[in-house]
Structure 1
Amino acid sequence: MELDEAITKRTSVRFYEDREVDDEILEELIRAAIRAPTASGLENWLFVAYKSRDVREKVYELIKQGHIEYFRKRGLPEEKMQKLQKRFEEGMYRAPLYLGVFVNKNVKALQDERYSHLELYWALESAAMAIENLMLKAVELGLGTCYIGVACFEHIEEELRKMAGLGDEYCLVGLISLGYPKGDVKPRGRKKDVREVLKIV
C-alpha cells in the first residue's frame, strides 16, 4: 500500500468486529509508532495495551461515561442524547483492544525548571506523531482506529493510569480504540480546502 492511499483511507472507526488483534500485529504497530520523531531523542513515551476482557470492559464504561458527560456539557438535546445512548448499546467504541499513549513528564533533557512546560509540549507532540504513525500502519494492516478525546478527562485519565499501575508522572496523550472494522468504512472528506488552511508568507 502506498503512503498516499493509507493517508486517504485513514478514518475514525467506531464499530469493530469481535475479533482479537494478535500480539505480533500489536508489536508491528508499536514498531511503526516509535519511528516517529522524538524531541531530544528522549523516547519518553509508553504504550499501554488494555487487552484483557475485564480491563476492556472497564475502559469501555469509562469511554461511555466520558461521552455522556461531554455531550451533556455541550447542551445536546435529550433526543440526541438518547440516540447517543442507543449507539453505545449497539457497541460503539467497543473494541478488542485499547491503546493508551502516555508520556513520562519526569524524563527531560534539561534540568532547568523554566523549560519544563516547553519540554512537556515537545513530549506531547512526539507522542502525537507516534499515534499518527500507528494509525497509518493500522490502515495498511486492515485495522481501524479512533482517537478518543474524552479519555483525557482528569478522572478518566486517573483510572486509566491506575489500571496500568502508573504514577502521576505519566500523562495520557490519547486513548486509541483498535480492531477490525465492522461493515464498510468510508473516509470522510474535509470541510475546508487546502487553500483555506494554508498561508504562504
Structure 2
Amino acid sequence: MELDEAIMKRTSVRYFLERPVPDEHIKMLIESAIRAPTASGLENWLFVVFRTEDAREKIYGLIAEGMVKYYQAVNLPEEKIEKLKRRMYEEGMYRAPVYIAVFIDREIRFLPGKEFDELEFIWSVESAAMAIQNLMLKAVELGLGTVYIGVTNFKGIDEKVRKLAGLDENHYLVGVIPVGYPRNKPKSKKRKKSLDNVIMWI
C-alpha cells in the first residue's frame, strides 16, 4: 500500500469485530509509532496495551464515562445522552479487542528550569501525537481500524486510566486508541474545509 492511499483511507472506526489482533501486528503498530519525530530525541512516550478481558472492560467503562461527561459539557439533552449509552452498551460502540493508551513521562525532559515546563510539555504531547498518527496509518495498511479517544483525559478519568496502567503521576495520558478489525467497511469522509480555506501564502 502506498502512503498516499493509507492517508486517504484512514478514518475513525468506532465499531469492531470480536476478532483478536495478533501480537505481531500490535508490535508493528508501535514500531511504526516510535519512528515518528520526537522532540529533543527524548522518546519519552510509553504505549500501554490493554488486551486482557478484565482490563479492556475497565477501559471501556472509562471511555463510556468520558463520553457522557463530554456530552454533558456541551449541554446535549438527556435523550441524546441516553442514545449514546445505547450505542455503547447495546451496539458495542468503541468496544475493541485491544486498547492502546499513549502516555508521556514528564520527568524525561531536555531543558532545565521551571520556565520551560510548559514548552517541554507541549513538545512531548506533540511528539506523542505524531506517534499516534504513524500508528493509525500503519493500522490502515494492516487492515485494522482505529479511533482517537480524548475523553479519557477528563480530570479523574485520566487518573483511573493511569492507575490501571500501574504508572506514577509523572505520566500524562495523551489518548486511548481502540484497535481492531472494522465491523463494517470503513468510509473515509471529506474534510469540511478545502485547501484554499486552510492555506495561507506569504
Normalised to the residue count of structure 1, the TM-score between the two structures is 0.98
Return 5+ residue gaps in structure 2 as ranges.
Answer: none
Confirm whether residue 187 of structure 1 aligns to residue 188 of structure 2: yes
Q: Percent identity?
A: 55
What pairs up with 1:90-169 in 2 under 5 angstroms? 90-169=91-170
Return 5+ residue gaps in structure 1 as ranges.
Answer: none
Counterpart CA distance in 2 for 1:79 and 1:184 is 29
- What residue number does 2:44 align with? 44
Deviation at 1:52, TM superposition (A): 0.5
Amino acid at match of 2:72: R
- What residue number does 1:31 align with? 31
C-alpha RMSD of matched pairs (Å):
0.9
Counterpart CA distance in 2 for 1:105 and 1:155 is 18
Q: Deviations over 1:93-138 (max 9, x none)?
A: 0000111000000001122221121111111100000000000000
Contact kept, 8 Å, 2:150 with 2:174, in 1: the verdict is no
- What residue number does 2:60 align with? 60
Normalised to the residue count of structure 2, the TM-score between the two structures is 0.97
Contact kept, 8 Å, 2:152 with 2:158, in 1: the verdict is yes
Comparing 130-139 with 177-186, which one deviates more in the overlay? 177-186
- Where 1:154 maps in the other structure, the secondary structure is coil
Deviation at 1:68, TM superposition (A): 1.0
Contact kept, 8 Å, 2:49 with 2:100, in 1: the verdict is yes
Deviation at 1:35, TM superposition (A): 0.3
Deviation at 1:76, TM superposition (A): 1.1
